[in-house]
Amino acid sequence: MKIGVVGAGAVGAYYGSLLARAGSEVTFLLRSDWEAVIRRGYWIQEQGKETFQLYPVRGFRRTEEMGPCDLVLIALKATAREALRELLPPLLQPQTVLVALQNGLGNEEWLSDVFPNHPIIGGIVFGCLTRTAPGRVENAGFGKIELGAYRGAREAFLREVALQFERAGVPCSVVESLEAARWRKLAWNIPFNGISVAGGGCDVEEILRDAELSRLATGLMEEVAAVARSRELPFPEDWTKRMMADTMRMGRYRPSTLVDFLAGRSIEVEAIWGEPLRRAQKLGVPTPRLQALYALLRALDRRSGAVPKLH
């Protein structure tokens, strides 16, 4: 199985490197990191594990140089997905499967509209991944992936992809409901990514330590859970408690949205906050905290004048 990685920031570089180290044929689309990665490879640092180097790396500046793939891991931010219209076609053959390793809602739907002839899988990432320098990625904890079929992917193929990740040392499971898995992940992303920016640059430890911010995070989680349950999606009763416990183990982790905002990059306002809010409104589920947070983040993003950048 030839695997292409489009969006080799923290997520794409991390999972692509682990798959390549385990023997998979992986090619990377590289932009700003191309020179550093070609010269020194990828360096992956994981909490509690020895740092490893992937070298050499099959990295290219253009997808035309990568050639057709069997599987494409898409790790571009949702803010940059329009670029996929030009980036993906050189990688596609009739049965190429697209895997959206992206946050928020609407990514699979967008891929389905633009590339209607290809099977699509959604991938939900649970990892504290940060690109610390060109060609260097740090995982401060976790790293699990959940895979779910959106359209056209057979269960046997899903399980084969999950097995490839497992062989690479990545905990990976296949979920029955991709939509439910997306909402479970939003129960963390919406509060912690959002409050980290709106709160003036808080890491997750600061959010938990501040009584009012912690209460806000819990309230946002409960709103997300209410929307999911109104859709009759499986959502564990103790999910908020479990997410809070996991977050306590992250230490001074800065969520990816905060990293992007501080670097002057556009943040994924619509995919992570806007689309869930619109779906809640259609269902008639009140989400006042989410509505307020969305308004603040949209204003901050507009004022930053950020332009989406590709890694």
Active site residues: 185
- CA within 13 Å, CB half, 154: 5
9 within 8 A of 131, measured Cβ to Cβ: yes
Dig out the tokens for 132 from the structure: 């610390």
Tell me the C-alpha distance between 31 and 83, whole Å: 13
**56: preceding bond cis by omega (within 30 degrees):** yes
Residue 54: beta bridge partners? Answer: 42
Residue 187's alpha-carbon distances to 105, 211, 222, 273, in angstroms, are 12, 19, 8, 11
Cα–Cα–Cα angle for 262, 263, 269, rounded to 5 degrees:
70
Give the number of residues written for the chain: 311
The CA-CA-CA angle for residues 300, 302, 303, to 5°, reads: 65
Cα separations (Å) of 77 from 44, 136, 164, 246? 21, 18, 24, 24
Q: Are 200 and 194 in contact (CB under 8 A)?
A: no
| Identity of residue 91 | L
Q: Count CB neighbours of 63 within 10 A.
A: 22
E-state strands within 58-186? 59-60, 71-74, 97-100, 120-133, 136-151, 172-174
